[in-house]
Chains A and B, each alone.
Chain A
Amino acid sequence: MIGVQHYLLLSAALFSLGLLGVLTRRNAVHVLMGVELILNSANLNLVAFARYGSGQIAGQVFAVFVIVVAAAEVAVALAIVLTMYRLRRTPNLDAADSLRG
């Protein structure tokens, strides 16, 4: 029987894979992909609790809002990445160090 713990474990694994990408990749677009994986893992948690938890549909409503916010965030983040390419001629995040002390 598949219970809520199965989905929680799966989303924990997805979260840590996305976190690995965010922490270790050099290219900004790879980091964005990691952030999308993290958002998807949170969505999976929300929908799993909507199914196995209190019986309300509010979890799925929240998940739709998370998808909306993720779409807006990817658009703005890609705009920033494109501007960074234009300025620094490299996609490596190590080059974004103007604020470094």
Chain B
Amino acid sequence: MTPEAVVFYLLAALTLGSAAICMLARSLIYSAFALLGAFVGVAGLYLLLGADFLAATQLLIYVGGILVLLLFGVMLTHKLYDLDLKSGTTQFAPGLVVSATVFALLSWVAFHAPWRLGGGREPAPTTAALGEQFLGKYLLPFEAASLLLLVAMLGAALIVRRRKDA
């Protein structure tokens, strides 16, 4: 077993284990921290795949932004609205069947599709290359994404504001 394989299986175990805890735990806080483990595992897998800038972005935005937002949302609504932090499941058996079917289908496709792989890309520092792509070929989606973020911020603030009228 090469070191790459050992690291891959460790990170895969961390990611899948955390995802399973996240989806099966009863308490919201346990699920949020298990989701943290899943995000860190995925960031490690990005590093293994040679995507160094993307791993840093994943940690900053997912762990430092989205997860903190989720935790704040949960904890503040818990204080304000006296909601129960535990949550059960509904219709677990049909959901499990559907999820297992989707997994079987996806893994069958993964092993039987004729992937026409090129040479691949050896792991190399990606930040400069990504910057060139963002400001070159993908400039329009880049600008559109910044517009999307602005609109999302405005929309979220607008949805949550309290109305003064009755």
Give chain A's interface residues, CB within 8 Å of chain B: 1-2, 4-10, 12-21, 23-27, 29-30, 32-34, 36-37, 40, 43-44, 47-48, 50-58, 60-61, 63-65, 67-76, 78-83, 85-86, 89-92, 94
Q: Is the CB of A23 within 8 A of B98?
A: yes
Q: Is the CB of B69 within 8 A of A78?
A: yes
**17 sampled A-B residue pairs with Cβ under 8 A:** A2-B8, A17-B16, A17-B20, A21-B23, A29-B74, A36-B62, A40-B62, A51-B50, A54-B117, A57-B133, A63-B54, A69-B145, A72-B152, A75-B156, A78-B69, A82-B160, A85-B83
Within the complex, the shortest CB–CB distance from B59 to chain A, in Å, comes to: 11
Q: Is the CB of B87 within 8 A of A27?
A: yes
Q: Is the CB of A19 within 8 A of B28?
A: no
By Cβ-Cβ distance, the 5 closest A-B pairs, closest first, are A27-B87, A72-B152, A12-B106, A8-B110, A21-B23
- A83 to B159 Cα, complex, angstroms: 7
Q: Is the CB of A76 within 8 A of B156?
A: yes
Q: Is the CB of B87 within 8 A of A26?
A: yes
Q: Is the CB of B23 within 8 A of A12?
A: no
Contact with A along B135-166 (1 / 0, CB 8 A): 00010010001001101110111011000000
Q: Is the CB of A61 within 8 A of B130?
A: yes
Given contacts A29-B70, A33-B31, contact A80 B159 (CB under 8 A): yes
Give chain B's interface residues, CB within 8 Å of chain A: 2, 4-5, 8, 12, 15-16, 19-20, 22-23, 28, 31-32, 35, 38-39, 42, 45-46, 48-51, 53-54, 57-58, 61-62, 65-66, 69-70, 73-74, 77, 81, 83-84, 87-92, 94-96, 98-100, 102-103, 106-107, 110-111, 115, 117-121, 123, 126, 129-130, 133-134, 138, 141, 145, 148-149, 151-153, 155-157, 159-160
Q: Is the CB of B15 within 8 A of A65?
A: no
- A57 to B83 Cα, complex, angstroms: 45
Q: Which chain B residues lie closer than 8 Å to A52 at the CB level? A: 117, 120
Q: Is the CB of B106 within 8 A of A55?
A: no
